Amino acid sequence: MFRIASAPRKGWQQKAKDFGFTFHSMYGEPYWDESAYYQFTLQQIESDLESPTEEVHQMCLQVVDEVCKSEELLERFQIPKAFWQPVADSWKNADPSLYSRLDFAYNGKLPAKLYENNADTPTSLYESGFWQWLWLQDQVDTNKVSRHSDQFNSLQEKLIERLSQIADHYQVNQIHFSSCQDTIEDRGTVQYLQDCAAESGLDAPFVFIEEIGLGESGRFTDARDHEIVSLFKLYPWEFMQREEFSEHIVGSQTNWIEPLWKSVLSNKALMPMLWKSFKNHPNLLPAYFEHELAQCEHTKIVKKPIFSREGANVSILENGKPLLTAQGPYGEEGFIYQAYSELPRFENNYTLIGSWLVNDQAAGISVREDTSPITQDMSRYLPHIILG
Amino acid sequence: MTRKRSAHINLNRMRKHFSPKPLAIGVASVFLAACSSDRQDAVVYNNADDCAQDNPEQRQACETAYQQALAEAERTGPKYSTQSDCESEFGSNQCRYVNNSSGSFFMPFMAGYMVSNLLSPNRYMYQPLFSSYSPYSPYRYRWMTADGLDYGDIRKRKYRVPPDAFKAKPSATRTIKRGGFGSSVRAKSSWGSKSGKSGWGG
């Protein structure tokens, strides 16, 4: 695993514009960064990332199964009581899931360590599935990288196939797609999924989360009063389960993507549960609930809110004292603790690997860099290649 | 050697000349001028009698298609909570009260139905159409589908349409209220670090 400096493609910004990649820079800060790329060997990809991703995912699903069968655990996961049964039902019915991203600390040598599971609303999907794919295509075409270069990235192919399977499962030919107002990154991610759905031959209308209505039929409606039968929502379950329309979530009979059981899988309470069930697994970090902290032998630990996005409210503690804290609005539902494992550094950057799953299959990786050891929403995205 | 990346991506699908935006809501019109080989003939009739006069041998098909179009109109047509809202869109005496399994509301009468393939009795196609008599409506004296597609002046009866003109429209219902999702985002968004790019994904 190397970080290799590389000249940005001439005119890539215009290309980004042509393809609707509108959030590659924000407020003068680059987000998409092709001044370097990461190079992996095929063995690193297959043995250290692809297989562990699928294995850890299966371990996570075992925890979901256990949690869905226990009211005590559902409560510890801060699932509102009204959703205990619906979450368990959606798991028992095997409601189909679309995608997830596991975040790993990996330096090319030691086993990748799982940081967290973004199973409900992962973003950076477009950059991964499409934009870095196009970057490699261009680099190969212009002989900037060896023509034997490959990339661990079958995301787009798998998303198209999976959306089609989900539509077949529910016997629908239309899926609504939704994200919040005023966020071009989320809108771009959802537009990408709409494009993938259209490629599978589905009708894929859009509605903003804030515009969703409740129809007299009991179903949710879009801005044109059309009933929403199936909905992909880039909006976290833990929010939806606590908002005004929460009482209509079950009655609306919507086919939810992601399904309700993802509120267990995407929950940070998963981490201490994983450690309990699969102690000393090479891809796991020791993790504890607040009441188990006495068992923790590590002096340097990371405190994470049960619900949190993009590194918000994460603190690094040493002997109980905060060394570094990221601000944010989360934490009222409690915290979990994870042994500190520093992100690998390449030059002056902390590097985090996002490993994608479409349903249960590993589907590619994304590489992000930050100048801080807590990666947040302004971390830069770098492309990667496989060579050798 | 098996590739670890997508073998092929349809670049035309991915190309955008505009930034992603929600679908425009409002009047869309059918481009009837464009000719393509898969278009078929379609005729608009006001009712089953109108249709049977034109196709005396197909009286039964006219009637069945009409009844089916009526049911489809009720399922997919625009719905309003008050008579006056409906009438301001469709004109006075153009609306009726409906009470069915998807709720109770006021909706416009079906103004006509478009049919095709009447000669093959099991494969005919139909689509309900509405029209407005309200001076305030952009659809005044025009044919429109349940989802707002404009087929032009109501005096026009004969069309060449693409096959998807007969695709079933989505169910419409009356929306009781909106805005029941999204409040957590408003509450937390003052934290949006360098807000603008970032959303609620992770």
Residue pLDDT, tens place only, B85-117: 889 889 999 999 998 877 788 899 999 999 998
| Residues B119, B164: Cα–Cα separation, whole Å | 19
Query: Where on the phi/psi map is residue A334: left (φ > 0), alpha (ψ -120 to 50), or beta?
Result: left
DSSP strand pairing (A384-386 vs A380-382)? unpaired
Report chain A's mean pLDDT, rounded to a whole number: 94
pLDDT band of B202, cuts 50, 70, 90? low
| Contact between chains at B16 and A245 (C-beta distance less than 8 A) | no
Among partner residues B4, B23, B103, which is closest to A153 by beta-carbon distance?
Answer: B4
| Residues A327, A296: Cα–Cα separation, whole Å | 25
- Model pLDDT, residue A88: 98
Of A263, A264, A284, residue with least CA distance to A274: A284
pLDDT greater than 70 at residue A65: yes
Digit-coded pLDDT (tens) for B65-88: 999 999 999 998 888 888 888 898
B78 touches chain A (CB under 8 A): yes
| Contact between chains at A245 and B180 (C-beta distance less than 8 A) | yes
- Give the pair of three-digit tokens for residue B105: 């509301």
Digit-coded pLDDT (tens) for A229-239: 999 999 999 99
- Model pLDDT, residue A310: 67
Digit-coded pLDDT (tens) for A94-129: 999 999 999 999 999 999 999 999 999 999 999 999
pLDDT band of B44, cuts 50, 70, 90? very high
Cβ under 8 Å to A: B residues 138-177:
147-148, 170-177
**Mean pLDDT confidence for A172-184:** 94
Of A158, A247, A253, A165, residue with least CA distance to A202: A165
- Highest-confidence range of A272-276, A374-378, B25-29, B175-179, by mean pLDDT? A272-276
Digit-coded pLDDT (tens) for A38-56: 999 999 999 999 999 999 9
| Contact between chains at A243 and B179 (C-beta distance less than 8 A) | no
Q: Cβ(A103)–Cβ(A352) under 8 Å?
A: yes
**Which residues in chain B have Cβ-Cβ distances shorter than 8 Å to A215?**
102-103, 173-176
pLDDT band of A325, cuts 50, 70, 90? confident
Cβ under 8 Å to B: A residues 166-195:
174, 179-191, 195
Q: What percent of chain A has pLDDT over 90?
A: 82
**Which residues in chain B have Cβ-Cβ distances shorter than 8 Å to A210?**
178-179, 181-182
- Model pLDDT, residue B37: 64
**Which residues in chain A have Cβ-Cβ distances shorter than 8 Å to B170?**
174, 226-227
B130 touches chain A (CB under 8 A): no
- How far is CA B128 from each of CA A23, A331, A360, B26, B168, rounded to the nearest angstrom? 43, 53, 44, 19, 10
pLDDT band of B191, cuts 50, 70, 90? very low
pLDDT greater than 90 at residue B30: no
- Model pLDDT, residue A263: 96
pLDDT greater than 80 at residue A246: yes
- Model pLDDT, residue A256: 98
Ranges of each domain in chain A: 2-267+344-386, 286-339
- Model pLDDT, residue B120: 76
Q: Between residues B143 and B25, which one has the greater pLDDT?
A: B143
Tokens 């469709």 belong to: B90
Q: Cβ(B167)–Cβ(A274) under 8 Å?
A: no
pLDDT greater than 90 at residue B162: no
- Best of A23, A209, A226 to mutate (most B CBs within 10 Å, chain B): A226
Among partner residues A45, A215, A245, which is closest to B4 by beta-carbon distance?
Answer: A45
Q: Please give the order of strands across the beta sheet that includes A2-5.
A: A2-5, A36-40, A384-386
Task: Return the minimum-mean-pLDDT range out of A71-75, A327-331, A354-358.
Answer: A327-331
| Residues B106, B86: Cα–Cα separation, whole Å | 6
**Which residues in chain B have Cβ-Cβ distances shorter than 8 Å to A152?**
4-5
- Model pLDDT, residue B199: 59
pLDDT greater than 80 at residue B25: no
Q: Closest-CA residue in chain B for A29?
A: B194
**Which residues in chain B have Cβ-Cβ distances shorter than 8 Å to A20?**
14-16, 18-20
Chain B nearest-CA distance from A307, in A, is: 11
| Contact between chains at B172 and A121 (C-beta distance less than 8 A) | no
- Model pLDDT, residue B163: 82
| Contact between chains at B201 and A152 (C-beta distance less than 8 A) | no
**Mean pLDDT confidence for A7-21:** 93
| Contact between chains at B200 and A236 (C-beta distance less than 8 A) | yes
